[in-house]
């Protein structure tokens, strides 16, 4: 299995190869224009920009969470307009530890496209390396993107409900510990977590320099999830809106567990149903 995490030097060596599409995924929650403005000011030469909310999510409705999954056909059309087709390799970067880049990585896998990578160390590592940047925007040539949707990579709210109390399923909450425990909730309307979920904060897949941890450290961080998968159980990973769970799914993929599922609507979808139960504190 090819490692989906690549270094800035890897990108530099391949950035002008015609089958490589570099995607800038920078985004700031609460400042919807910040990513596009950062891209307009400076980005990796040849990169195209895809916005989390405008391009990689559907409009918010009553259910589906804060960043609902786009319809596969609509996402494929958007990727095609960005010059991404089935024959292309894709490498994504952001400035938030790989969280938004991992969202694109997961979306492409969901649509059946595996030749996709996340640049380690985000845009800051590219700049720190003294590599070229530009404000010139690439004119994308549309490419053919044929869908091969993998529904087995997704869990919806009904599947998560059935997972409650099911020893064959482990729920994994990717938010920081205080939000998981219900001590604070700065974003969503209700605090707490889905009953039975274990907490594995997504940022703990990164080291102190913001780079992806080595395999041994990742295994230690995700030990309960790995044990569950090794025992033949399912793992369903969620976060606040289906975005910051993606680095945990990516980490499991790197460790040889591509079967981990994403609850795409995540906590913000779960609490949109009045009767869904909520737990607080630590799980035993």
**From 29, 228, 239, 262, the catalytic residue:** 239
Closest by CA position to 269, among listed 110, 169, 154: 154
C-alpha distances out from residue 19 to 56, 128, 135, 146, Å: 22, 26, 22, 16
Closest by CA position to 255, among listed 235, 273, 281, 284: 235
Is 239 part of the annotated catalytic residue set?
Answer: yes
Q: Which two tokens stand for residue 119?
A: 């640049």
- Active site positions, annotated: 239
């Amino acid at each position: 299995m090819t490692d989906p995490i690549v270094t800035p030097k890897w990108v530099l060596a391949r950035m002008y190869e015609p089958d490589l599409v570099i995607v800038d995924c920078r985004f700031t929650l609460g400042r919807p224009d910040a990513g596009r403005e950062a891209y307009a000011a400076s980005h990796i030469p040849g990169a195209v920009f895809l916005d989390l909310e405008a391009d990689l999510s559907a409009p918010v409705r009553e259910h589906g969470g804060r960043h609902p999954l786009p319809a596969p056909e609509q996402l494929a059309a958007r990727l095609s307009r960005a010059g991404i087709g089935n024959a292309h390799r894709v490498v994504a970067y952001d400035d938030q530890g790989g969280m938004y880049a991992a969202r694109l990585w997961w979306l492409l896998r969901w649509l059946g496209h595996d030749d996709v990578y996340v640049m380690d160390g985000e845009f800051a590592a590219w700049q720190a390396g003294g590599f070229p940047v530009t404000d010139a925007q690439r004119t994308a040539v549309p490419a053919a993107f044929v869908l091969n949707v993998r529904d087995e990579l997704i869990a919806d709210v009904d599947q998560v409900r059935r997972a409650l109390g099911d020893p064959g399923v482990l729920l994994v909450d990717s938010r920081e510990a205080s939000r998981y425990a219900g001590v604070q909730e700065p974003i969503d309307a209700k605090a707490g977590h889905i009953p039975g979920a274990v907490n594995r904060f997504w940022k703990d897949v990164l080291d102190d320099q913001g780079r992806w941890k080595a395999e041994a450290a990742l295994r230690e961080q995700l030990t309960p999830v790995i044990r569950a998968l090794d025992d033949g159980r399912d793992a369903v990973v969620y976060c606040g809106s289906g975005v910051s769970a993606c680095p945990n799914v990516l980490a499991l993929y790197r460790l040889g567990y591509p079967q981990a599922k994403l609850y795409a609507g995540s906590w913000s979808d779960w609490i949109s149903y009045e009767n869904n139960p909520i737990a607080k504190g630590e799980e035993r």
